[in-house]
Protein backbone atom coordinates (compact mmCIF):
# COMPACT_ATOMS: atom_id res chain seq x y z
CA UNK A 1 0.00 0.00 0.00
CA UNK A 2 1.08 3.54 -0.71
CA UNK A 3 2.46 5.37 2.34
CA UNK A 4 1.43 8.79 1.08
CA UNK A 5 -1.74 10.87 1.02
CA UNK A 6 -2.46 13.36 -1.74
CA UNK A 7 -5.53 15.39 -2.72
CA UNK A 8 -7.33 13.66 -5.60
CA UNK A 9 -7.38 16.71 -7.84
CA UNK A 10 -6.23 20.31 -8.19
CA UNK A 11 -6.59 23.12 -10.70
CA UNK A 12 -3.97 25.69 -11.57
CA UNK A 13 -4.06 28.67 -13.90
CA UNK A 14 -1.55 28.62 -16.73
CA UNK A 15 1.57 30.57 -15.87
CA UNK A 16 0.99 30.38 -12.14
CA UNK A 17 2.85 28.18 -9.69
CA UNK A 18 1.33 24.79 -8.98
CA UNK A 19 1.87 23.60 -5.40
CA UNK A 20 1.09 19.92 -4.91
CA UNK A 21 1.05 18.70 -1.30
CA UNK A 22 1.83 15.23 0.00
CA UNK A 23 1.58 13.76 3.47
CA UNK A 24 3.92 10.93 4.46
CA UNK A 25 3.70 10.91 8.23
CA UNK A 26 5.08 7.36 8.61
CA UNK A 27 8.19 7.92 6.53
CA UNK A 28 11.30 6.15 7.80
CA UNK A 29 14.72 7.71 8.17
CA UNK A 30 16.13 5.88 5.14
CA UNK A 31 13.22 6.60 2.81
CA UNK A 32 13.36 9.15 0.05
CA UNK A 33 10.46 11.18 -1.29
CA UNK A 34 10.02 10.76 -5.04
CA UNK A 35 7.69 12.55 -7.41
CA UNK A 36 6.58 11.13 -10.74
CA UNK A 37 3.89 12.25 -13.12
CA UNK A 38 1.86 10.48 -15.76
CA UNK A 39 0.57 12.43 -18.69
CA UNK A 40 -2.44 10.83 -20.34
CA UNK A 41 -1.62 7.57 -22.14
CA UNK A 42 2.12 7.85 -21.43
CA UNK A 43 4.49 6.11 -19.06
CA UNK A 44 5.27 7.69 -15.70
CA UNK A 45 7.96 10.36 -15.83
CA UNK A 46 10.45 11.06 -13.06
CA UNK A 47 10.35 14.62 -11.75
CA UNK A 48 12.47 14.97 -8.63
CA UNK A 49 13.40 13.29 -5.36
CA UNK A 50 14.85 14.23 -1.98
CA UNK A 51 15.74 12.90 1.43
CA UNK A 52 15.53 15.85 3.80
CA UNK A 53 16.89 18.91 2.05
CA UNK A 54 14.91 20.96 -0.42
CA UNK A 55 15.74 20.14 -4.01
CA UNK A 56 15.40 21.97 -7.31
CA UNK A 57 15.92 20.90 -10.90
CA UNK A 58 14.86 22.13 -14.32
CA UNK A 59 11.36 20.73 -13.87
CA UNK A 60 10.36 21.52 -10.32
CA UNK A 61 11.24 22.22 -6.71
CA UNK A 62 10.67 19.89 -3.79
CA UNK A 63 10.13 21.31 -0.34
CA UNK A 64 10.32 18.80 2.52
CA UNK A 65 9.27 19.83 6.02
CA UNK A 66 11.83 19.61 8.78
CA UNK A 67 10.07 16.65 10.40
CA UNK A 68 9.85 15.01 6.93
CA UNK A 69 6.19 14.17 7.44
CA UNK A 70 5.05 16.15 4.43
CA UNK A 71 6.36 17.70 1.25
CA UNK A 72 5.27 20.00 -1.56
CA UNK A 73 6.10 19.76 -5.22
CA UNK A 74 6.25 23.15 -6.89
CA UNK A 75 5.95 23.69 -10.62
CA UNK A 76 6.96 27.35 -10.82
CA UNK A 77 5.18 28.31 -14.05
CA UNK A 78 2.60 25.70 -14.97
CA UNK A 79 1.77 25.16 -18.63
CA UNK A 80 -1.01 23.21 -20.29
CA UNK A 81 1.47 20.39 -20.90
CA UNK A 82 1.86 19.96 -17.15
CA UNK A 83 -1.67 18.58 -16.95
CA UNK A 84 -1.13 15.08 -15.55
CA UNK A 85 -1.51 12.81 -12.55
CA UNK A 86 1.27 13.52 -10.05
CA UNK A 87 2.43 10.77 -7.73
CA UNK A 88 4.25 11.27 -4.46
CA UNK A 89 6.11 8.11 -3.43
CA UNK A 90 8.26 7.26 -0.42
CA UNK A 91 10.82 4.63 -1.08
CA UNK A 92 13.81 3.09 0.60
CA UNK A 93 16.97 2.71 -1.38
CA UNK A 94 18.29 0.07 -3.74
CA UNK A 95 16.14 -1.78 -6.18
CA UNK A 96 12.88 -1.40 -4.30
CA UNK A 97 9.86 -0.95 -6.53
CA UNK A 98 7.83 2.21 -6.71
CA UNK A 99 4.52 1.88 -4.87
CA UNK A 100 2.06 4.18 -6.60
CA UNK A 101 -0.99 5.59 -4.84
CA UNK A 102 -3.85 7.37 -6.51
CA UNK A 103 -1.91 10.59 -7.04
CA UNK A 104 -3.21 14.10 -7.67
CA UNK A 105 -4.79 14.93 -10.99
CA UNK A 106 -3.51 18.41 -11.84
CA UNK A 107 -5.45 20.33 -14.45
CA UNK A 108 -3.74 23.44 -15.82
CA UNK A 109 -6.33 25.83 -17.15
CA UNK A 110 -5.74 28.49 -19.80
CA UNK B 1 16.80 8.51 -28.85
CA UNK B 2 14.36 6.16 -27.19
CA UNK B 3 15.55 5.22 -23.71
CA UNK B 4 13.05 2.49 -22.81
CA UNK B 5 11.07 0.99 -25.66
CA UNK B 6 8.29 -1.56 -25.71
CA UNK B 7 6.70 -3.58 -28.49
CA UNK B 8 3.97 -3.80 -29.42
CA UNK B 9 2.22 -0.60 -28.37
CA UNK B 10 -1.20 -2.22 -28.74
CA UNK B 11 -2.08 -5.90 -28.51
CA UNK B 12 -5.57 -7.30 -29.03
CA UNK B 13 -6.03 -11.03 -28.62
CA UNK B 14 -8.48 -13.74 -27.71
CA UNK B 15 -8.83 -15.46 -24.36
CA UNK B 16 -6.64 -18.49 -24.02
CA UNK B 17 -3.91 -17.26 -26.35
CA UNK B 18 -0.23 -16.87 -25.43
CA UNK B 19 1.44 -13.54 -26.11
CA UNK B 20 4.71 -11.75 -25.42
CA UNK B 21 5.60 -8.12 -24.82
CA UNK B 22 9.18 -7.01 -25.40
CA UNK B 23 11.13 -4.32 -23.56
CA UNK B 24 14.53 -2.88 -24.35
CA UNK B 25 16.52 -0.11 -22.68
CA UNK B 26 19.60 1.63 -24.07
CA UNK B 27 20.51 3.46 -20.87
CA UNK B 28 23.06 0.94 -19.65
CA UNK B 29 20.90 0.19 -16.61
CA UNK B 30 21.21 -3.08 -14.73
CA UNK B 31 17.72 -3.30 -13.23
CA UNK B 32 14.46 -3.67 -15.12
CA UNK B 33 10.83 -3.82 -14.01
CA UNK B 34 7.36 -4.67 -15.23
CA UNK B 35 4.36 -2.74 -13.90
CA UNK B 36 0.67 -3.26 -14.62
CA UNK B 37 -1.87 -0.42 -14.76
CA UNK B 38 -5.44 -1.67 -14.61
CA UNK B 39 -8.66 -0.03 -15.73
CA UNK B 40 -8.87 1.91 -12.46
CA UNK B 41 -5.46 3.40 -13.26
CA UNK B 42 -3.63 1.79 -10.35
CA UNK B 43 0.02 1.10 -11.18
CA UNK B 44 1.48 -1.99 -9.51
CA UNK B 45 4.84 -3.67 -9.67
CA UNK B 46 4.89 -7.18 -11.09
CA UNK B 47 8.53 -8.16 -11.46
CA UNK B 48 12.01 -6.78 -11.08
CA UNK B 49 15.26 -8.12 -12.51
CA UNK B 50 18.76 -7.07 -11.54
CA UNK B 51 21.61 -8.21 -13.78
CA UNK B 52 19.31 -10.77 -15.39
CA UNK B 53 18.27 -12.25 -12.05
CA UNK B 54 14.77 -12.08 -10.61
CA UNK B 55 14.75 -10.04 -7.40
CA UNK B 56 11.08 -9.09 -7.01
CA UNK B 57 8.11 -11.25 -7.87
CA UNK B 58 4.87 -9.87 -6.52
CA UNK B 59 1.73 -11.97 -6.30
CA UNK B 60 1.35 -12.54 -10.00
CA UNK B 61 -0.20 -15.67 -11.58
CA UNK B 62 2.40 -18.09 -12.87
CA UNK B 63 0.88 -17.61 -16.32
CA UNK B 64 3.12 -14.54 -16.39
CA UNK B 65 6.77 -15.36 -17.00
CA UNK B 66 9.40 -12.67 -17.40
CA UNK B 67 12.55 -13.47 -19.33
CA UNK B 68 15.74 -11.46 -19.36
CA UNK B 69 18.12 -12.61 -22.11
CA UNK B 70 20.56 -9.82 -21.22
CA UNK B 71 20.68 -6.70 -19.07
CA UNK B 72 19.15 -4.54 -21.79
CA UNK B 73 16.04 -6.67 -22.31
CA UNK B 74 13.18 -7.87 -20.15
CA UNK B 75 10.37 -9.59 -21.99
CA UNK B 76 7.02 -10.58 -20.54
CA UNK B 77 5.35 -13.76 -21.73
CA UNK B 78 1.74 -14.44 -20.79
CA UNK B 79 0.13 -17.85 -21.18
CA UNK B 80 -3.58 -18.63 -21.39
CA UNK B 81 -4.68 -15.02 -21.44
CA UNK B 82 -7.76 -14.08 -19.41
CA UNK B 83 -10.14 -11.14 -19.61
CA UNK B 84 -8.68 -9.74 -16.39
CA UNK B 85 -5.26 -9.48 -17.97
CA UNK B 86 -6.48 -6.53 -20.01
CA UNK B 87 -4.41 -3.57 -18.86
CA UNK B 88 -1.54 -1.32 -19.80
CA UNK B 89 1.84 -2.88 -19.06
CA UNK B 90 4.82 -0.63 -18.44
CA UNK B 91 8.45 -1.61 -18.51
CA UNK B 92 10.98 0.46 -16.55
CA UNK B 93 14.70 0.44 -15.90
CA UNK B 94 17.12 1.93 -13.43
CA UNK B 95 20.74 1.82 -12.39
CA UNK B 96 20.99 0.13 -9.02
CA UNK B 97 22.19 2.42 -6.31
CA UNK B 98 20.97 4.37 -3.37
CA UNK B 99 18.68 6.65 -5.34
CA UNK B 100 18.07 4.75 -8.53
CA UNK B 101 15.60 6.68 -10.66
CA UNK B 102 13.31 4.56 -12.76
CA UNK B 103 12.67 5.42 -16.39
CA UNK B 104 9.48 4.09 -17.92
CA UNK B 105 8.61 2.90 -21.38
CA UNK B 106 5.54 4.12 -23.29
CA UNK B 107 3.41 1.16 -22.29
CA UNK B 108 1.68 -1.72 -24.06
CA UNK B 109 -2.10 -1.71 -24.03
CA UNK B 110 -3.27 -5.32 -23.90
CA UNK B 111 -6.91 -6.08 -24.65
CA UNK B 112 -8.18 -9.62 -24.17
CA UNK B 113 -11.48 -10.38 -25.88
The Cα angle at residue B17 between residues B103 and B46, in degrees rounded to 5: 30
Sign for the pseudo-dihedral over CA of B93, A95, A59, A7: positive
Whether the Cβ atoms of residue A98 and residue A36 lie closer than 8 Å to each other: yes
- Over the stretch A45-103, which tens digit does the pLDDT of each residue have? 999 999 998 999 999 999 999 999 999 999 999 999 999 999 999 987 666 778 899 99
Is A53 an 8 Å CB contact of chain B?
no
Whether the Cβ atoms of residue A58 and residue A82 lie closer than 8 Å to each other: no
Q: Cβ contact (<8 Å) for B99 and A32? A: yes
Rounded Cα distance, A38 and A105, in Å: 9
- Looking at the complex, report in whole angstroms how far the Cα of residue B97 sits from the nearest Cα belonging to chain A: 5
Count of C-beta atoms within a 10 Å radius of residue B17: 13
Rounded Cα distance, B62 and B90, in Å: 18
Those residues of chain B whose CB sits closer than 8 Å to some CB in chain A are 4, 31, 33, 35, 41-45, 48, 50, 55-56, 58, 90, 92, 94, 96-107
Q: What is the mean pLDDT of each run of 10 residues along chain B (113 residues)?
A: 90 97 94 91 88 80 91 94 96 77 94 96
Amino acid sequence: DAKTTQPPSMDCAEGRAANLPCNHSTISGNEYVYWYRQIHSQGPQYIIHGLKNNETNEMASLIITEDRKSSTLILPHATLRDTAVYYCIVRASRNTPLVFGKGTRLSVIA
Amino acid sequence: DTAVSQTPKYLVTQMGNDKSIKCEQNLGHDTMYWYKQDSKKFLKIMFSYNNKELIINETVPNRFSPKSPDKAHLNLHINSLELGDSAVYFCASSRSGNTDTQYFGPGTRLTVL
